[in-house]
């Protein structure tokens, strides 16, 4: 199973915690501005990143 973590921009969302093994769902609330989040998965087979854009309507 890969190690999975989330970043907002270039900052880890949980820098003091070990990455989660397997599936890791990001729950966000109280977002005030549109921004990008990146899911990073790492395993012996390699690394992959997927960036998603969260758009706050009316901003």
Domains identified in the chain and CATH numbers:
3-54 (2.60.40.10)
Look at residue 17 in the predicted model and tell me its pLDDT: 82
Write b or e for each residue in 15-32: b if 16 or more Cβ atoms lie within 10 A of its Cβ, otherwise e.
Answer: eeeeeeeeebeeeeeeee
Per-residue model confidence as pLDDT tens digits over 6-17: 999 889 988 888
Taking residues 24-34, what's their average pLDDT? 83
pLDDT band per the 50, 70, 90 thresholds, residue 59 = low
Look at residue 29 in the predicted model and tell me its pLDDT: 82
Helix (H, G, I), strand (E, B) or coil at 20: strand
């Amino acid at each position: 199973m890969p190690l999975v973590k989330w970043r907002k921009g270039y900052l880890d969302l949980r820098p003091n915690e070990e990455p989660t093994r397997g599936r890791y769902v990001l729950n966000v609330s109280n977002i005030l501005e549109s921004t990008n989040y990146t899911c990073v998965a790492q395993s012996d087979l390699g690394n992959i990143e997927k960036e998603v854009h969260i758009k706050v309507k009316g901003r």
